[in-house]
Each structure stands twice: as C-alpha cells, then as structure tokens.
Amino acid sequence: MSAVPTFVPPELGNTHIEDCPKRVRGFFGGVFIVDTRKAKLVWEHKWYPQYYFPNSVLPSKFLDDGSKQVLPDGPTRYDILVGDERAPGAVLVYGSSNGDLAGLFKIVYSSMAKWFEEDEQVFVHPKDPYKRVDVLQSSRHVRVEVHGVEVANTHKPRLLFETSLPVRTYIPQTDCKLELLVPSDLQTSCPYKGVASYYHVQTAPDRRADNVVWWYRNPNVECAMINGYYAFYDEHVDVWVDGEKQPRPKTHFA
C-alpha cells in the first residue's frame, strides 16, 4: 500500500498552491462574479487557504479600468463594479513576474456578498481540506473557575478536536453558573462551526471577565453536538480536568 501524502502547512513567507476539486462561485451585486471548476487553493500563510483563479476566467466585464492600480513588484489591483455597486480593490491580477502566482487572480474574500462551494454557502474563509473537526462525548470531570469562583462543573463535557488548535471543552448549560453570565454583543464566525455568541462572567459587582464564554445556537451540521453547550476561553480562565489543573494554551483561536 502506498503512503498517503501528508500536507505540511507553508512557513510564513512561502506559498502552497493546489487545485480545488469543487465548483466555486462568488456572488456580488446580484450576479456571480466568478463561477468555475478551475479554482486554486493558495495558502498565503499556514492557517487556511484563499481562492485564486486562472486568468482565463477573469471577469473582465466587472472590472473598473479607471480603478486600475499596478502595485510595486506585485499584482494589478481593480475595483469590481456591478451597476451602482462597487467593491474597492477586490481583484488582484498576477502577471509573469509574480512567481508561482503568475497567471492567476484573486478576489478578496470579504469583498463578495456570498461564496459557494458547489451549492453550499461558505463563511469567513475557504475551508481547509486538511483540517478536521470532531466532537466527542466525554465523561471527564471538568471544573472551571474565573477569579477563583467556580463557574462550571461537569462530568458530561463534549470535547471539540480541531486540527492544529487546542481542544475546546463544551459544557451543558445546566452545569454552568448561569447567574454569573452576562450577555455580550460580540459575535464571531467559523467556517466549520458557525456563528458564536458570547458572555461575560461577572464574579463580583466590580469584577468581570469579558467575552470568556461562547456558544453556538445553530452550529453547522458537522458540529451539531455542541448546540447550546458553553465553552470557556481556556486562555483566560482556570480549568481542572479530573482534578489536575491545566496549563493555559498560548494560542488565541476560538
């Protein structure tokens, strides 16, 4: 049996490029700016890829020539213009002097109203085909303290394992001190899990830990098991697992 090739994320400053097997579409101004089965996944850094496309599918009719800007030693930048709707600096076209990116163009992900892989909408950034997310039911005993006050205590956590990130512990609401949680206006999005809402933890009238709890009301299907469960930001709280205090992770990704 032949060995399965292992993807090694690029070091900062390097670029990894591979074909994307999915149909990719970007929607803006009521039209699909790009719709192709020839997309590339390009890792500009080690965390996740971006979509790039061959110049053969460049949406020239939507590029505003008046916005053309040749960047020093880099690509040519254009606005996208559809009727009265403009996406400034949304397209970067790479020429023959741009190394591995020559002959490709990029649409800035956030400039589009919607992105689709096949017929499924993709949020935040393209999904990394080398990233996996698993949620497992556990019977570990998990306790969480904030400012020395116990805020959660459970024997029924669900553990979320996400490639290259710390394990996240999701706790049933009924095992949390709900009276200490104060709703926050913060929301964040993840292409794998969905949209997260946050809470502060108020341990005293004059002492609050901001945005250290999050939860998903309607997580994506692959993470449905965390629906309604609460996760505490391990980097900013104290956690004991089976009686052993855990070191705080150094990363800051939820």
Asked if the structure places residue 66 within a domain, the reply is yes
Domain C-terminal end among 122, 142, 174: 122
Residues 114-123 have pLDDT tens digits of 999 999 999 9
Shared domain check, 118 and 195: no
pLDDT for 250 = 76
Dihedral sign for Cα 202, 206, 209, 214, please. positive
Query: CB neighbours of 8 closer than 8 A, spacing ≥ 6?
Result: none
Is residue 10 situated within a structural domain?
A: no
Q: What percent of the chain has pLDDT over 90?
A: 81
pTM over 0.85: no
Round the CA-based radius of gyration of the chain to a whole number and report it.
Answer: 22
Judging by DSSP bridges, how do beta strands 158-162 and 194-204 pair with one another?
unpaired
Give the mean model confidence (pLDDT) for residues 24-38.
Answer: 97
For residue 97, give its domain range.
Answer: 16-122
- Which residue, 222, 225, 226, 238, is CA-closest to 145? 238
Is residue 127 one of the residues assigned to a domain?
no
In angstroms, rounded to a whole number, what is the distance separating the alpha carbons of residues 196 and 217?
Answer: 7
Burial tier of 31 (Cβ tally within 10 Å: 0-12, 13-18, 19+): middle
Q: How many domains does the chain have?
A: 2
Mean pLDDT of the chain: 91
Phi-psi region of 225 (alpha: psi -120 to 50; beta: other; left: phi over 0): alpha
> Per the domain annotation, does 93 fall within a domain?
yes
Top-confidence residue, 247 or 5: 247
Q: Same structural domain for residues 41 and 108?
A: yes
- Whether residues 118 and 137 share a domain: the answer is no
- 106: domain CATH number? 2.170.150.40
Give the tens place of pLDDT for each residue, 81-116. 999 999 999 999 998 888 889 999 999 999 999 999
The answer to whether residues 172 and 226 belong to one domain is yes
**Residue 82 sits in the same domain as residue 141:** no
Instruction: Look at residue 42 and tell me if it is in a domain.
Output: yes
Query: How many CA atoms does the CB half-sphere of 27 hold within 13 Å?
Result: 12
Residues in CB range of 66: below 8 A, 6 or more apart: none
Clarify whether residues 89 and 149 are in a common domain.
Answer: no
Domain co-membership, 144 together with 234: yes
Do 99 and 147 reside in the same domain of the chain?
no
pLDDT tens per residue, range 183-235: 999 999 999 999 999 999 999 999 999 999 999 999 998 899 999 999 999 99
Q: Are residue 189 and residue 217 in the same domain, yes or no?
A: yes
Asked if residue 77 is part of any domain, the answer here is yes
Predicted confidence at residue 251, as pLDDT, reads: 61
The single-letter DSSP state of residue 80 is E
* Domain endpoint, select from 99, 122, 145: 122
For residues 59-80, average pLDDT: 92
Q: Are 137 and 127 in contact (CB under 8 A)?
A: no
Average pLDDT over residues 225-254: 89
| Digit-coded pLDDT (tens) for 166-186 | 899 999 999 999 999 999 999
My answer on whether 145 and 68 are in the same domain is: no
Beta-sheet pairing, 76-82 with 85-93: antiparallel
- Whether 157 and 90 share a structural domain: no
Answer whether residue 7 shows pLDDT above 60.
no
Is position 217 within any domain? yes
Return the higher-pLDDT residue of 33 and 165: 33
Same domain, 146 and 86: no
The answer to whether residue 152 is domain-embedded is: yes
Last residue in a domain, options 122, 148, 168: 122
pLDDT at 5 over 60: no
Bridge-partner residues for 249, per DSSP?
none
Structure tokens at 145: 């303290």
